[in-house]
């Protein structure tokens, strides 16, 4: 198979541009024209390479989860439950207020509510967030078996609280609230976590 006419775009770069557009405007707020313009990809190529809006969105979410959510996996890998929580809260605030990315979190900005025909989009995003919550809960269960957390702590509630706070920070960041302000809120959440696990 020899090579035909060369592409005018790089597939990975184009995908990253798509991430930013969906991140800022959400799934339904993004049109194919928005995408082709930002990605530097013409319409037929977009369909040939990425396969439609819904398929592209799935690839975008995967790319985002792998790159822009790496901090969450790093936090879970911390040695103690408290360090897990601290690092997640702190790095989350940073992640939702980066200068070179849209404010907030794609998982929420992508579509917290959708039209009836796109309910699967918001449901998919919600399910993936809850999967992340479960990862934290499992991590805290492990901490309990290790004696790192008191035996009577509720790992699910702790994980939920962390996710709740991170989601609130994402909403706040998207509203334009600066990083320093969110850090003060994260510090309060950190104190709460500390108070819950030291008895």
Contacts to DNA by CB under 7 A: 1-9, 30-34, 41-45, 47-49, 52-54, 115
- With respect to DNA, which residue has the nearer C-beta, 31 or 191? 31
For CA atoms 75, 123, 55, 37, give the dihedral sign: negative
- Contact with a copy of itself (CB under 8 A): which of 11, 20, 34, 138? 34
Name the minimum Å distance from CB 136 to DNA. 34
CA pair distance 45, 111, nearest whole angstrom? 25
When asked if residue 161 is in the footprint of a copy of itself (CB under 8 A), the reply is yes
**Which helix (H) or strand (E) covers residue 112, if one does?**
none
CA distance to 20, 79, 95, 146, 163, per residue, from 100 (Å): 10, 30, 10, 40, 24
Name the minimum Å distance from CB 182 to a copy of itself. 8
* CA terminus-to-terminus distance, the chain: 68
Among residues 115, 118, 93, the alpha carbon closest in space to that of 171 is found at: 93
**Residue 82, contacted partner among a copy of itself, DNA, none, CB below 5-8 A by kind:** none
CA distance to 79, 142, 183, per residue, from 94 (Å): 21, 27, 9
- With respect to DNA, which residue has the nearer C-beta, 57 or 161? 57
- With respect to a copy of itself, which residue has the nearer C-beta, 49 or 192? 192
140 in Cβ contact with 171 (< 8 Å): no
Name the minimum Å distance from CB 2 to DNA. 4
- With respect to DNA, which residue has the nearer C-beta, 112 or 188? 112
CA pair distance 79, 177, nearest whole angstrom? 31
**Residue 108, contacted partner among DNA, a copy of itself, none, CB below 5-8 A by kind:** a copy of itself
The residue count for binding a copy of itself (CB under 8 A) is 55
Q: Which stretch binds a copy of itself (CB under 8 A): 1-9, 46-54, 71-79, 166-174?
A: 166-174
**Residue 160, contacted partner among DNA, a copy of itself, none, CB below 5-8 A by kind:** a copy of itself
């Amino acid at each position: 198979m020899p090579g035909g006419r060369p592409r005018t775009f790089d597939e990975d770069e184009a995908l990253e541009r798509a991430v930013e557009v969906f991140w800022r405007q959400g799934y339904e707020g993004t049109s194919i024209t928005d995408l082709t313009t930002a990605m530097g990809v013409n319409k037929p190529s977009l369909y040939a390479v990425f396969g439609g809006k819904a398929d592209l969105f799935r690839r975008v979410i995967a790319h985002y989860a792998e790159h822009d959510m790496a901090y969450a996996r790093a936090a879970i890998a911390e040695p103690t439950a408290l360090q897990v929580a601290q690092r997640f809260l702190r790095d989350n605030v940073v992640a939702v207020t980066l200068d070179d990315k849209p404010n907030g979190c794609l998982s929420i900005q992508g579509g917290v509510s959708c039209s009836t025909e796109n309910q699967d989009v918001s449901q998919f995003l919600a399910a993936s967030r809850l999967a992340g919550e479960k990862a934290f809960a499992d991590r805290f269960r492990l901490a309990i078996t290790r004696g790192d957390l008191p035996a009577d702590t509720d790992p699910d509630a702790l994980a939920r609280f962390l996710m709740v706070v991170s989601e609130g920070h994402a909403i706040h960041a998207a509203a334009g609230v600066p990083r320093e302000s969110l850090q003060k809120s994260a510090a309060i959440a950190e104190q709460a976590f500390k108070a819950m696990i030291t008895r």
